[in-house]
Structures are given as C-alpha cells and as structure tokens.
C-alpha cells in the first residue's frame, strides 16, 4: 500500500474522478453535518466548501436536502429564536445579530422575531434582571451595570432602560 492510500484504497485517484462518487461524497458530508444539529443553508454550504466539495455539487446537494424538508432557514430561525429566548434569555437584537452571522435571510429573521410579543420580551428581561441582580439598583453605577447587563443580552436600549426602572420600583409613567 502506498503512503497516500488509506485502508479502503487510494485516497485520491479514480474514486474522485467518478461524478457519482463525488456527488455521494458531497451528500455524505452534508448528512454528517446535519446529523450533529440543524444548520442553515449558508452554514451547510460553508461546511461542504471546507471539505473541498465543488460549488456546483454544494448547490445541488443543498437543493436536494431542502426539497426533502431537512434544510429550512425559516424553521431554523424560529427554533433558534425560541431557544435563545427561553434557554439563554437573549433579546431580539442579539438573536438578530447571530442569525445574520449564520446567513439566515432578513425575511426569516423578521418573521421569527415578530412571533414574540413585546410584553413577553419585557417580562423576560425583567425576570432575567431579577435573577442576576435581585436587589434594585441604589446607585447610578449599579443602575448602569444592570443596564449593560441587559444590553449585552441583546435587549434594545429603550426596553433595557424601562426594565431597569421597573426593577427599581418606578412605574412607566415616572
């Protein structure tokens, strides 16, 4: 056996020249990635490109998998937004930034974020703040720290400010 040969035969060679073998390799790479967790179209394309799958095969396999219903950016965006809200107490802005980084289209992001009622997001932010800072802020420094805490979680500035005020006992009209 030559140095470049593997246990199943040549590492390159005739296997990679066969179009059907290259297509099957592309499918195998895609399914291995999807078996680990759900992916976006862009993520799957990047993974396949990193594994040196040809661009035309990437497009073909991604289309096949999407047609079969296993790859859906809209579904991914909804599930991601729900999970990040519920499990990590992320705000809409942080969810949006992450979905954009994952290559999800603006229309899918907007639809996923629109599913949350603003009052529900406010309540989630308040619950998160109460967990992280049980005592209301008594100094401007504490108030600023609580505000930064919410901003890092991805809550909008005006929402974060309102939540910090509510946590301190102020009413919305104050």
13-52 pLDDT tens trace: 445 678 899 999 999 999 999 999 999 999 999 999 999 9
Find, among 123, 87, 83, the residue nearest to 99 by Cα.
83
5 in any annotated domain: no
3-19 b/e (C-beta count within 10 Å ≥ 16 → b) = eeeeeeeeeeeeeeeee
pLDDT value of residue 116: 86
172 in any annotated domain: no
pLDDT at 169 over 90: no
Same domain, 94 and 122: no
pLDDT at 3 over 60: no
Residues 6+ apart with CB under 8 A from 44: 30, 33, 34, 62, 65, 71
Q: In total, how many domains does the chain have?
A: 3
Q: Return d(Cα 41, Cα 149) in angstroms, integer.
A: 32
3 in any annotated domain: no
pLDDT value of residue 7: 44
122 in any annotated domain: yes
110 in any annotated domain: yes
Bigger pLDDT: 14 vs 148: 148
The conformation of residue 6, written as its DSSP 8-state character, comes to E
99 in any annotated domain: yes
Task: Label residue 148 by pLDDT band (50, 70, 90).
Answer: very high
pLDDT value of residue 132: 94
pLDDT at 93 over 90: yes
Same domain, 124 and 163: yes
Write down the number of H helices and E strands in the chain. Answer: 10, 2
Report the pLDDT averaged over residues 109-130: 93
Task: Write out the residue range of the structural domain in which residue 161 sits.
Answer: 118-167
CB hemisphere CA count around 87 (13 angstroms): 7
Q: Return d(Cα 103, Cα 100) in angstroms, integer.
A: 5
pLDDT value of residue 118: 87
pLDDT value of residue 16: 65
Q: Return d(Cα 62, Cα 112) in angstroms, integer.
A: 22
What is the overall mean pLDDT for the chain? 89
pLDDT at 11 over 80: no
52 in any annotated domain: yes
8 in any annotated domain: no
pLDDT value of residue 18: 87
Whether 72 and 131 have beta carbons less than 8 Å apart is answered as: no
pLDDT at 2 over 80: no
Same domain, 59 and 87: no
Q: Is residue 165 exposed (0-12), middle (13-18) or buried (19+ Cβ within 10 Å)?
A: middle
Task: Label residue 170 by pLDDT band (50, 70, 90).
Answer: low
Same domain, 60 and 84: no
pLDDT value of residue 17: 75
Largest pairwise CA distance in the chain: 81
pLDDT at 1 over 50: no
């Amino acid at each position: 056996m030559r140095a470049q040969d593997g246990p199943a035969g040549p590492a390159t060679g005739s296997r990679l020249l066969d179009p059907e073998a290259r297509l099957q390799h592309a499918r195998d790479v895609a399914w291995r990635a999807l078996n680990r967790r759900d992916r976006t179209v862009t993520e799957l394309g990047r993974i396949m490109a990193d594994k040196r799958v040809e661009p035309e095969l990437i497009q073909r396999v991604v289309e096949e998998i999407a047609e079969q219903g296993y790859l859906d950016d809209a579904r991914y965006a909804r599930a991601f937004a729900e999970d990040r809200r519920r499990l990590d107490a992320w705000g809409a802005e942080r969810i949006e930034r992450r979905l954009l980084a994952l290559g999800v289209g603006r229309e899918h992001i907007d639809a996923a974020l629109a599913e949350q009622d603003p009052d529900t997001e406010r309540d989630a932010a308040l619950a998160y703040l109460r967990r992280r800072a049980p005592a209301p802020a008594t100094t401007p420094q504490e108030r600023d720290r609580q505000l930064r805490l919410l901003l890092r979680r991805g809550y909008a500035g005006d929402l974060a400010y309102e939540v910090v005020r509510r946590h301190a006992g102020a009413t919305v009209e104050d």
